[in-house]
Every structure is written in structure tokens, then in C-alpha cells.
Amino acid sequence: MENTNICPVDYVVDLISGKWKVLIIWHLKFGKKRFGQLQKILTGISKKVLSQHLKELENSGLIIRTVIPSIPVQVEYSLTERGMELSAILEEINQFGSILLKGPTVPKS
């Protein structure tokens, strides 16, 4: 059932709000990662916050949590099809960020 009273931009921003969720999605774009790998990549994130964000992203249908039966048990995270669609948008943000990092542009008079 479609809800036409919700702004699509507001909905997506709510799904990925905060610094870490966008970065988690960005890094999973390049392949499956285990919890420890993500924690190393995301310098400064606590285990609690990473765990919370992974659960929220899984509940929103953007990532998949796969348990690998081994000793010890391993868990891998990867993007769903929807997550991959979102990562394509993040690629555009990456390109725009690269332009901005080159310095301000001077408007032509």
C-alpha cells in the first residue's frame, strides 16, 4: 500500500540518517564485509553503534546479514538489490564531493 502523505526524500533521509549508515552502505558497495572488517574501516565507530546501525539497515531492507556456520560462527553483511540502488546514488555524491574538494569555483560574471 502506497502512502502518498510521506515525502520520498524525507523517507530516504530517515533511513540513512547519520554519518555511519551512509558509510556502511558505501563500503558494502565493494563487497561483503564481516563486523570486524567494518569496524576497522569505520574508524571511530563503537561496536554498539555499528551493531545498532547494521540492525536498522537490515530491518529497512538495505543490507543482508548472512550467518556462516563455522567455528567460530562468522557473520557477513552485504547489500540487497535496494542497497545497491542506493549505493549508485552514493557514487554520484562521491563524484560531487571530489569536485568540491578541488576548491571553490568562481562564478562567471
Q: Which pLDDT does position 79 carry in this prediction?
A: 97
Phi then psi for 105, rounded to 5 degrees? -95, 145
Q: Which pLDDT does position 85 carry in this prediction?
A: 94
CA 41 centroid distance within chain: 13
Q: Which pLDDT does position 38 carry in this prediction?
A: 97
pLDDT averaged over 10-residue windows placed end to end, the chain, 109 residues: 78 88 96 97 96 96 95 94 93 90 75
